[in-house]
Amino acid sequence: MMPLIASLLHWFHQNSLSINSFLLSLLVFYFIFSGHEKALQSKRRELRSLPSPPRVPIIGNLHQLGSLAHRSLQSLSEKYGPLMLVHFGRIPTVIVSSPVAAQEVMKTQDLAFASRPKSSMADGLLYNSHDVSFSPYGEYWRQVRRICIVHLLGLRRVQSFQVVREEEVAVMIDNVRRAAASTQPVNLGKLPSTLTCDIICRVAFGRKYYEEEGGENCVRQMLGEFTALLGAFPMRDFIPWLGWVDWLRGLDARVRNTSKQIDCLIDKVIEDHLHDKSVGGDACKDGGNFVDILLSLDNDKDHSIGSTLGKDSIKALILNSLSINSFLLSLLVFYFIFSGHEKALQSKRRELRSLPSPPRVPIIGNLHQLGSLAHRSLQSLSEKYGPLMLVHFGRIPTVIVSSPVAAQEVMKTQDLAFASRPKSSMADGLLYNSHDVSFSPYGEYWRQVRRICIVHLLGLRRVQSFQVVREEEVAVMIDNVRRAAASTQPVNLGKLPSTLTCDIICRVAFGRKYYEEEGGENCVRQMLGEFTALLGAFPMRDFIPWLGWVDWLRGLDARVRNTSKQIDCLIDKVIEDHLHDKSVGGDACKDGGNFVDILLSLDNDKDHSIGSTLGKDSIKALILDMFAAGTETTYAVIEWVMAELVRHPIDMKRVQEEVRKVVGLKEKIEEELLDEMNYLKAVIKEALRLHPPIPLLVPRESIEDTKFQGYDIPAGTRVVINAWAIARDPGSWERAEEFWPDRFLNSSVDFKGQDFQFIPFGAGRRGCPGIGFAISTIELALANLLYHFDWELPDGMKEESLDMSESAGLTARKKLNLILVAKPRIL
């Protein structure tokens, strides 16, 4: 029999496809012996009719629980209903998410659902679950519950402790007053914790036991560890044959240590009360504390609880009352480590070791420290470890850059040394083995396709040649807004710019819109949305190759295949149509030719200077690059600008006055007028600073050993530049977190790659080649929206209540669509 290999499967974040969206930790890589689930087969057959999400062998649905289980389960219930069956390991569990079902559990059939499941944590910490919260239903539970209700927590008893509450609240207020007098900030995390701990200590014990137990913080830490352990995830409860994992990760030792500390404290409390009672008589009166009452009941042969409590029961009830106000459940991750998986990268890690780095977990590295918005998580880490730090994404060491100085060295001083891209399975699967200009590695091919993009597709002359397309499509957008305004319908400024940019890119790239054949405008947008979401996904095989099968399990491989097939069919049709048109009408490539015409013409031109024919895959990848990248980033910026302006009415009014003054009474805004709109340009820059379309620039990879900021960086090291963090760096920006367009009015700082405190489009060799195309569309669209309409939030909504949260993904769009009311300008 082979040794049992156990442990790692990925805890997926609720938005598992976003590079910035996932809370990552690993569960078990397993080899299954048949028969482990047989004991529960009968129960599962009976529960099978309940709606239930698909589960994974052994772990069940545990991979679908994020760090906030209540939110994860709510998301599942929205899909599978308010009453659903999930499997936590081998334990089938019914999740109730509706008032009606909750009433049936807690009222109509309260008795049928009155017991508690067995918990090894409660057994270890609460004297074999002898407390009132975790003990199973039965005679003992009824006995201790009656004690709590009648003797400890009844109305009369609660009122008797009024003086204690008032005295401790007065102490808290005095502490706040002293802090205010010395202009010190108040820690409202610690203050209520101290208050409740003091009140409960006096009510439960009769006094505070801080002095003997190492101080107030020591007692709080002990209680914090107690509640953390009660909310822990013990393997033996859900997958009993993996119970030894609890020993490996130190959970058993923590339970023993915490239980011992708490037991010593409660023993001392009981001894003190017994001593006081022997000296001064019965302490139990109306104002007696919980310990007095419980000891009195235990010694009272005539009380009505039926039998003596026993020391363990008294201790459990004291601990229950002590911790009840600090109980916070959280789910933790278990893992089992096999040595040797990291050996291939040891040499590189030795060279990088001197870089500041947060502690990492075996196998997953620092992935567990990435939230759904990775740029924010990495900014928080950089505040602690510095603007140049080393993190480990699985087995991949990655240097995170969060300062303008370091960014300049990567993108200018040593631009060539960091000019390549790391391999990406998503780009390979979606972009024809990374044959596009964004993801292809540095080399002769990349230089060739980049030159094509700059000279033939996105040069200044080519961008100007598409002016008519932009103006026509913006006019269509304005007509749509007018119709909505005339019918008093709000305008979806998440969808509207998306449609505009999609239409412009379709016409520029393909020569026309392909909506009719492809199932409509929404179908094309959804296909592009899935494409960009997958590019921002977190494929296991890229970071922990031997767990690549996880991508298949969670359906990522299938989604890549399906999306790639849909896009390939669309681009094949586009190319076929162009080849047919060319065969009928001659060479379609002229100054106004679209991207497909130009690429096909270059591929057939034996005398062009690109060195060799492109090939069909390269043409497809470049078409897709221009189409997808140009659409998503452009419309995201337009929506963010409008969202910031509606939150800042003074800036909105100011930019509208400028646009309307420059345009005058003209019905049409020509692109030549945009150069006179300095405040509009400042507003766009400020929105790009606060909301860069790609907050974490596409990763770079060093192509040679180099010295970087005093550190040795070996070839093949991944480098990620946090453009979002750099743009909010207080060392580079005054009022860094505020929307303040005036900062750009008398400033030469621009986004074209020379000012490294402001790099929303990157810089250097790997900078975005389509900046001119994107900005011309953004400026024209915004100028028209601001010229023709006044904008306000619907239904009397306040500016400060507008949700400005970001979506997770490669592109940081606004999470919720911006819905505004448009009022036509009266000339």
- Report the pLDDT averaged over residues 558-587: 85
Q: Provide the token pair at 722.
A: 């946090």
How far is residue 541 from each of residues 68, 548, 592, 711, measured CA to CA in Å?
26, 4, 43, 29
Res. 225: pLDDT tops 50: yes
Over residues 739-770, the pLDDT tens digits come to 999 999 999 999 999 999 999 999 999 999 88
Domain boundaries, the chain: 28-110, 139-326, 404-824
Res. 599: pLDDT tops 80: yes
768 is annotated as contributing to ligand binding = yes
Q: Which CATH code fits 139-326?
A: 1.10.630.10
- Report the pLDDT averaged over residues 591-601: 76
Quick one: pLDDT at residue 586? 56
Q: Which residues contact 641 (CB under 8 A, 6 or more apart)?
A: 683, 684, 687, 778, 782
How does the average pLDDT of the chain come out, rounded? Answer: 80
Classified as helix, coil or strand, 94 is strand
Q: Which residue has the higher pLDDT, 265 or 214?
A: 265
Answer left, alpha or beta for residue 96, where phi above 0 means left and psi between -120 and 50 means alpha.
beta
Find tokens 């334990």 and name the residue.
Answer: 91
Over residues 102-134, the pLDDT tens digits come to 999 998 898 888 888 888 877 877 777 777 778
How far is residue 761 from each of residues 58, 562, 695, 815, measured CA to CA in Å?
45, 30, 9, 21
By CB atoms closer than 10 A (0-12, 13-18, 19+), residue 346 is exposed
CA distance from start to end of the chain: 85
Count of positions (residues) in the chain: 827
pLDDT-based confidence at residue 216 (cuts at 50, 70, 90): low
Classified as helix, coil or strand, 108 is helix
Rounded Cα distance, 261 and 319, in Å: 12
- In this chain, the answer to whether the domains covering 139-326 and 404-824 adopt an identical fold is yes
Rounded Cα distance, 198 and 380, in Å: 33
Closest CA to 539 of 706, 412, 386, 427: 427
Instruction: Specify the CATH architecture of the domain 404-824.
Output: Orthogonal Bundle (1.10)
Note the Cα 157 to chain centre separation in Å: 46
pLDDT-based confidence at residue 13 (cuts at 50, 70, 90): very low
